[in-house]
């Protein structure tokens, strides 16, 4: 980890795919405008705050009312951890305007 491979060593296909994605992501972030950087920063902070608040509320409820069934708790944690990945993967066709969740 973190050390270069010896010369002539074959690179695992999954590792090379991961490295290409990381380089593409770094290039995209470096070439993005100030508005895009600000939007990405605010989005990260929003989801961090959202998850923290929801997990705190779940913990307080569990202290007051007892622990719910493991299935329900897993659903609640999954909901709290949601970060809108399907919106990130979707191509932006409307000029970059954020879209709400579709019901």
pLDDT in tens, 3-31: 776 777 777 888 888 889 999 988 888 88
Label residue 8 left, alpha or beta by phi (over 0 means left) and psi (-120 to 50 means alpha): left
Question: Which DSSP letter does residue 29 get?
Answer: H
pLDDT in tens, 70-80: 999 999 999 99
Side-chain half-sphere CA neighbours of 49 within 13 A: 6
- Give the distance from CA 83 to its chain's centroid: 5
pTM passes above 0.75: no
**What are the boundaries of each domain within the chain?**
13-87
Closest of 73, 75, 48 to residue 59, by C-alpha: 73
């Amino acid at each position: 980890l973190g050390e270069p491979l010896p010369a002539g060593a074959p690179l695992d296909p999954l590792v090379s795919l991961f490295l290409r994605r990381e380089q593409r992501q770094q290039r995209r972030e470096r070439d993005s405008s100030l508005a895009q950087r600000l939007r990405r920063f605010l989005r990260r902070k929003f989801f961090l705050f959202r998850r923290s608040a929801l997990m705190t509320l779940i913990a307080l409820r569990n202290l007051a009312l007892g622990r719910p069934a493991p299935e329900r708790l897993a659903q609640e944690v999954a909901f709290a951890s949601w970060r809108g990945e399907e919106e990130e993967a979707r191509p932006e066709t409307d000029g970059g305007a954020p879209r709400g969740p579709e019901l």
